[in-house]
Copies of this chain bind each other. A is one copy, B any other.
């Protein structure tokens, strides 16, 4: 059943021994929301704890400062920022079909919980949690504010994405007024690179080539580069975005070697002149208008490049 913020707050007020679930590959929003809510419940005198998939990524460790550790038999199970039970981490599988309350902002939420408070217009689940903590009657302190701000800023790319609304900015305004460490958190989230990522970026940039008068840019990352840099697959996301950020580039392509004979391709495009998903569909792939992907097997990087660039040129030529 869809609940209002007030109804969700009532469920929490009338419960104790509350377990908070976060999604697999936890990000700043699921963690920030869970720790904010956990602290709010603890401040209300309740027993609550957060479970996460494996260890919390180092850059999010400060969120744990908000809560006391606690061990208990759960009476209420709450999922935060989890659209689907498929996204439960391994250690939460036993709570499938047993979630009492789900707090979320994903349009795609599958309504797996007994009660769910889902606000699809919220840029981050943190916007919903902010209102929920207010409805709980808990005064938001600096530590709760830091948790909520972390969710807000990470899910909006530091207030940059198109999902940002008036509510996002107003929530941030109130958190800043409370004294949250907005500057420190933004610095940690957005201005910190790993040595491995920097090394991989340098190697990838050295392969950068332009085609079609600079409208198409292609970079490649080989297994050798991944090994030499020590970078993990998760660092590739940011690197895939680089070619399209270059002035004049309408189609940005990253070719990533996955094994000796398999390559995956990420395409980012100006959707008004070339659909990335259409381009990738020519090679058995898909995606969205502005970002797509496809795979190639038993071809060299040069051959893959030629195919992609020819197709992109044809599509740009039509405009």
Contacts from A to B (Cβ < 8 Å): 158-162, 164-170, 172-174, 176-177, 182-183, 186-187, 190-195, 198-199, 201-202, 205-206, 208, 210, 214, 241-242, 245-248
Contact = CB atoms under 8 A, between A and B. Distances in A.
B183 A177 contact: no
B245 A193 contact: yes
A205 to B, nearest CB: 4
Nearest to A173: B169
A176 B169 contact: yes
A291 to B, nearest CB: 14
A219 to B, nearest CB: 10
- The 10 A-B residue pairs with the shortest CB-CB distance, nearest first, are A169-B173, A202-B205, A162-B183, A166-B177, A166-B173, A160-B186, A159-B159, A170-B173, A169-B172, A169-B169
Contacts of A174: 166
A99 to B, nearest CB: 33
Contacts of A214: 195
Contacts of A176: 164-166, 169
A160 B183 contact: yes
A201 B205 contact: yes
Contacts of A177: 166
Contacts of A182: 164
A266 B210 CA distance: 31
A170 B210 CA distance: 42
A207 B164 CA distance: 38
